[in-house]
């Protein structure tokens, strides 16, 4: 589609104030249809005749803007009348906020200094067949809006009594248009609303609102006030051990709302930013506040829920809830690491460890496709992949298990949804990543040199380290092998000749075995088995089980080892131990945070320690989804629902549940591209009953029984 619009911008700098753009027009004859095409340098809210043009919030979303800036298309036919006004308020958004907050760079200064801009066209189709296009040009106007400040980290300031005093003509802006693409990702939407559970006074005398659930989004409040009354709200995730409001872990993010009231009853929520929070501290609020005045509005990518997990243990059910909430909170247009502090970035390592769970919980094909396109756009010329996508950490090295998202994520999306288009579109990016490792290593067939995150936040880390005790070059070489193997698989799906990479893979495996005959940590054992690099997989898995028992039947792993630990144990005859780790409630465990009152997944196993103190203030998110990757073990091993690799998209499945009598029952289901697959087991005095329902052909294994099954319902006993 060809467009006529120019970029336009305010003729003068408005400072912190968000500009509002305006176009007025009159319909001259009966209208048949109207479409609005719009994007901005920042995030925008568009209204026609006072009504929002769509439920899409924080448009145009976050992409690698200099290469890919999404344009939204709205059907606005029903909003038009004889006389019309289009208004578009534009905030800094991701493009022009100081992101990330913890790094200072010339590139960041450049991005923050960028001017605001608006691009848009209104296409009018009349009943007589005539067409008219109202494209952004110098006839459009701008002025100051009531949004006096808006930014991703620091929040929003709004003056409800403010009315734009002066409208001026915009000027054309020489911003590029060759980077404009039509909307590609999921829309960001307000998906749920949660009423406040209580308003209370803390021991320190603070007035705090509790929603009972950590969310990503913003608060909507209603208040009866006088013009000029002020409201000041701070956001927080947790209370301290004394029950007082706590927000030191937000670091430099102010995460605040400042609101100047108009006269009378009024309702407000921010529109150009978002927060991660469970609690609000009311620094200023007219009169005494009640819970009925506050609603938490959940904002995330508009994803269809496809997975279900439930069991007889209330603590595990809370864990499952935390995993789903963690995904919702961090799947806000990109897979972020956290939604609250001065970060909120698309960390590649977090995304790759969680992508399987993510794709079972929700339909994320479109979501990941858009993000992976940004990854390909931001890939360096040498093939390196940044730690975060969209890239905003210039000059960084590429790390094993982080950059490998370039290969792991598209392969998993193909496996879950069966659409090889993702492999076609990402193949060059995948190949360039493997070539990058080959070209930068200091020792052929190993990955040596460079800087890596290691087994990030591993519990076996030496004092003062975040990286765990697993050897960084061990991890790097293991992922070198894994990515090369997945690249070969992708090539075969696409009918490409990759003999060169098959030979490379053989040499990597050989070099790995020669250089790493022994494994020193839980994570080293796990990778050697899960990536099939050890000479004796069963012995290595047995050694892992022995090491875990000697460690007190505790996990000692971090971001790299944790996603695979239960899989390895279950696949090699140690499902009892896998369940022991899964059901453990003492620190360290998945259920420790549940017992501490968590409603989302934590960044650290002990974000709040056993004595009630905090792990730290500098890096301690309480909504960080990576460790929620345990859910894919629940789907695939505990409930036993596994897609067969040769039948991508769940065209045919293996159903092989692994029950444990420490639970009375467990059930899971996945609504796949080819139909729903569900598995449940119930422990009874007579034995274990298995209830299977599958809409696709399946291989069912229950104990010693194995059968080919057509779609249908089945019951087995063991």
DSSP 485-542: HHHHHHHHHHT---HHHHHHHHHHHHHHHHH-SS--SHHHHHHHHHTT-SSSHHHHHH
Backbone angles phi, psi at 148, to 5 degrees: -85, -15
Classify residue 359 by burial, with Cβ atoms within 10 Å: 0-12, 13-18, 19+.
buried
Distance CA 224, CA 219 (A): 17
Distance CA 430, CA 489 (A): 11
Domain ranges of the chain: 7-146+160-184, 189-301, 307-638, 653-717
Q: Tell me, what's the pLDDT at 1?
A: 67
Contact 231, 221 (CB under 8 A): yes
Provide the b/e sequence for 680-718 (b: ≥16 CB within 10 Å).
bbbbeeeebbbbbbbbbebebebeeeeeebeeeebebee
Contact 640, 657 (CB under 8 A): yes
Distance CA 109, CA 177 (A): 23
Per-residue 3-state assignment (H helix, E strand, C coil) for 345-370: CCEHHHHHHHHHHHHHHECCHHHHHH
Closest by Cα among 404, 396, 400 to 430? 404
204 Cβ contact list (under 8 Å, min separation 6): 242, 244, 245
> How far are the Cα atoms of 85, 119, 658 from residue 187, in angstroms, in the given order?
24, 19, 38
Contact 37, 120 (CB under 8 A): yes
Q: Tell me, what's the pLDDT at 394?
A: 78
> How far are the Cα atoms of 201, 233, 291, 336, 340 from residue 218, in angstroms, in the given order?
22, 11, 15, 17, 11
What three-state secondary structure class fits 72?
strand
- The whole-model pTM stands at 0.97
Those residues of the chain that have pLDDT short of 70 are 1
Q: Do domains 7-146+160-184 and 189-301 have the same CATH topology?
A: yes
**How many residues are given for the chain?**
718
Residue with tokens 């930014």: 151
Q: Tell me, what's the pLDDT at 532?
A: 98
Distance CA 255, CA 437 (A): 40
| Radius of gyration from C-alpha coordinates of the chain | 27
Q: Tell me, what's the pLDDT at 602?
A: 97
Query: Taken in order 635, 637, 639, 641, is the CA torsion positive or negative?
Result: positive
Contact 219, 233 (CB under 8 A): yes
Residue from 214, 237, 603, 667 carrying the catalytic annotation: 603
Q: Tokens for 262?
A: 């108009």
Angle between helices 314-330 and 348-361 (to 10 degrees): 120
Choosing among 2.170.130.10, 3.40.50.720, 1.10.340.70, 2.60.120.260, the CATH entry for 7-146+160-184 is: 2.60.120.260
Residue with tokens 């467990």: 666
Based on the residue annotation, tell me whether 610 is a catalytic residue of this protein: no
Closest by Cα among 205, 204, 262, 276 to 231? 262
What three-state secondary structure class fits 334?
strand
Classify residue 397 by burial, with Cβ atoms within 10 Å: 0-12, 13-18, 19+.
middle
Closest by Cα among 448, 493, 358 to 412? 358
The CATH number assigned to the domain with range 307-638 reads 1.50.10.10
Q: Tell me, what's the pLDDT at 464?
A: 79
518 Cβ contact list (under 8 Å, min separation 6): none
Based on the residue annotation, tell me whether 343 is a catalytic residue of this protein: yes
User: 36 - beta bridge partners?
Assistant: 74, 122
Distance CA 409, CA 388 (A): 14
Residue with tokens 């296409």: 123
Distance CA 125, CA 107 (A): 43
Distance CA 140, CA 599 (A): 47
Residue from 151, 237, 343, 473 carrying the catalytic annotation: 343
Distance CA 100, CA 98 (A): 6
Residue with tokens 């801009």: 117
Contact 343, 97 (CB under 8 A): no
Residue 372: Cβ within 10 Å count:
22
Secondary-structure class of domain 189-301 per CATH: mainly beta
Phi-psi region of 573 (alpha: psi -120 to 50; beta: other; left: phi over 0): left
Distance CA 88, CA 21 (A): 5
On whether the 653-717 domain is CATH 2.60.420.10, my answer is: yes
């Amino acid at each position: 589609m060809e467009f006529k619009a120019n970029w336009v911008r305010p003729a003068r700098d408005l400072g912190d104030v968000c500009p509002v753009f305006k176009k007025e027009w009159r319909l001259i004859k009966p209208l048949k249809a109207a479409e609005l095409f719009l994007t901005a340098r920042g995030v925008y809210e568009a209204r026609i005749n006072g009504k929002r043009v769509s439920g899409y919030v924080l448009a145009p979303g976050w992409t690698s803007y200099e290469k890919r800036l999404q344009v939204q298309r709205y059907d606005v036919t029903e909003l038009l009348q004889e006389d019309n006004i289009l208004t578009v308020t534009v905030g800094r958004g991701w493009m022009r906020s100081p992101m990330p907050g913890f790094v200072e760079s010339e590139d960041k200064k450049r991005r923050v200094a960028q001017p605001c801009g608006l691009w848009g066209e209104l296409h009018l189709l009349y009943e007589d067949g005539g067409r008219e296009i109202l494209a952004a040009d110098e006839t459009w106007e701008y002025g100051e809006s009531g949004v006096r400040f808006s930014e991703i980290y620091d929040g929003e300031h709004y003056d409800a009594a403010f009315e734009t005093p002066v409208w001026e003509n915009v000027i054309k802006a020489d911003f590029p248009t060759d980077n404009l693409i039509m909307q590609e990702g999921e829309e960001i939407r307000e998906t749920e609303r949660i009423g406040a559970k209580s308003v209370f006074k803390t021991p320190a005398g603070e007035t705090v609102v509790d929603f009972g659930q950590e969310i990503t989004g913003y608060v909507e409040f209603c208040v009866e006030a006088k013009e000029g009354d002020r409201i000041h709200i701070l956001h927080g995730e947790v209370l301290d051990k004394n029950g007082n409001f706590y927000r030191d872990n937000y670091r430099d993010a102010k995460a605040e709302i400042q609101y100047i009231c108009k006269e009378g009853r009024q309702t407000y929520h921010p529109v150009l930013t978002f927060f991660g929070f469970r609690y609000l501290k009311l620094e200023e609020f007219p009169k005494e506040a009640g819970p009925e005045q506050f609603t938490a509005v959940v904002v995330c990518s508009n994803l269809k829920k496809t997975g279900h997990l439930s069991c007889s243990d209330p603590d595990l059910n809370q864990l499952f809830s935390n995993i789903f909430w963690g995904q919702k909170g961090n799947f806000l247009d990109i897979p972020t690491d956290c939604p609250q502090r001065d970060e909120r970035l698309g960390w590649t390592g977090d995304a790759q460890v969680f992508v399987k769970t993510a794709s079972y919980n929700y339909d994320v094909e479109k979501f990941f496709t858009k993000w992976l396109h940004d990854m390909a756009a931001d890939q360096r010329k040498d093939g390196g992949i940044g730690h975060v996508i969209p890239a905003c950490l210039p000059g960084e090295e590429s790390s094993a298990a982080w950059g490998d998202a370039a290969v792991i994520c598209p392969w998993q999306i193909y496996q879950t949804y069966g659409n090889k288009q993702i492999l076609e579109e990402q193949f060059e990016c995948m190949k360039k990543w493997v070539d990058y490792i080959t070209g930068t290593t200091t020792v052929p067939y190993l990955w040596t040199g460079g800087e890596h995150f290691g087994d990030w936040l591993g519990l076996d880390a030496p004092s003062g380290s975040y990286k765990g005790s697993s050897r960084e070059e061990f991890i790097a070489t293991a992922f070198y092998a894994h990515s090369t193997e997945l690249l070969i698989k992708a090539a075969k799906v696409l009918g490409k000749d990759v003999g060169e990479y098959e030979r490379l893979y053989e040499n990597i495996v050989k070099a790995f075995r020669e250089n790493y005959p022994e494994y020193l940590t839980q994570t080293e054992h796990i990778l050697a088995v899960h990536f099939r690099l050890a000479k004796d997989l069963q012995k290595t898995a047995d050694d892992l089980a022995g090491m875990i028992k000697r460690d007190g039947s505790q996990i000692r792993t971090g971001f790299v080892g944790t996603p695979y630990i239960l899989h390895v144990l279950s696949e090699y005859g140690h499902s009892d131990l896998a369940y022991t780790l899964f059901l453990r409630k003492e620190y360290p465990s998945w259920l420790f945070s549940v017992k501490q009152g968590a409603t989302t997944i934590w960044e650290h196993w002990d974000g709040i320690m056993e004595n009630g103190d905090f792990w730290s203030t500098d890096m301690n998110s309480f909504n960080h989804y990576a460790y929620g990757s345990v859910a894919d073990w629940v789907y695939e091993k505990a409930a036993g629902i596994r897609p067969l690799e040769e039948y991508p998209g769940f065209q045919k499945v293996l159903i092989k549940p692994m029950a444990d009598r420490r639970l009375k029952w467990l059930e899971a289901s996945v609504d796949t591209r080819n139909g729903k697959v569900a598995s449940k087991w119930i422990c009874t005095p007579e034995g274990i009953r298995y209830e299977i329902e599958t809409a696709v052909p399946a291989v069912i294994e229950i104990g010693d029984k194995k059968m080919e099954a057509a779609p249908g319902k089945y019951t087995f006993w063991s």
